[in-house]
Structure 1
Amino acid sequence: MTDTVRYMALLEPQPEGGYTVTFPDLPEAITEGDDIEQALFNAAEVLSLVLEQRLADGAPIPSPTQTEGGHWVEPSASVQAAVLLARARAGHTISELARAMGTSWPAAQRLMKPGNPTIKQLERAAAALGKRLVLSLE
């Protein structure tokens, strides 16, 4: 079973033009755009920033819920990787992950931060957790 990181964004037309974008699952994620394309582009950016901050704070990452009339939005690839690794690591400590990977605790901890891990490191971490890293272009 593959896992994805995406959240439903709601676009609300504004009387003065443009759209306000909100995420029901992440109330702090709010942005806007002059048209739908720009609003969705900005939505991906704010989603990435909010998820990255939640990871840094150790705050929960909610499961996405589908909302009628919404648009699925994905965060950046590095944020997706960090969220997926955090989900896969649930129930395992950083120390356990480090031992399974044959690496140090600081090296395993860095995997939890978006932008830090290489593909090779992510593959090793996934394998240590009994998973397989799969990438796709959509």
Structure 2
Amino acid sequence: MSQQKNLEYYMKLPYRIVLYPAQEGGFVVEIPELPGCLTQADTIQEAYEMIEDAKRAWIETALEEGMDIPEPQQNDDYSGRFVVRIPRSLHRALAEAAERENVSLNQYVVYQLARSMATAKFKS
């Protein structure tokens, strides 16, 4: 792109927005690609409105200070598939647990990973 990237350019980019409950009540909302760009609100609607203001302020400051502004990561970068080697005993335990739950091994592992990520998010 030959023209200089300005505020309007960055504001139109599809940054990922993450919303989660705040420990003290209300909601926290952030844009992971813009470090420190987050806000908190009492309602989900308010949180989404406020993150747009926070994004604008973050980008304006970065432009004024000549900082690099990360662009959103594309989902194309992730296929949804990865290979991991695990001990046979863990493979067996996971397969048996999936069978007890009457789901495929793949579904069971995805569920356990998602559950673990959600727990980790609330601890941080």
Q: Return the TM-score normalized by structure 1.
A: 0.43
Task: Point out the structure with the larger helix share.
Answer: 2
Bigger CA radius of gyration: 2
Q: Return the TM-score normalized by structure 2.
A: 0.47
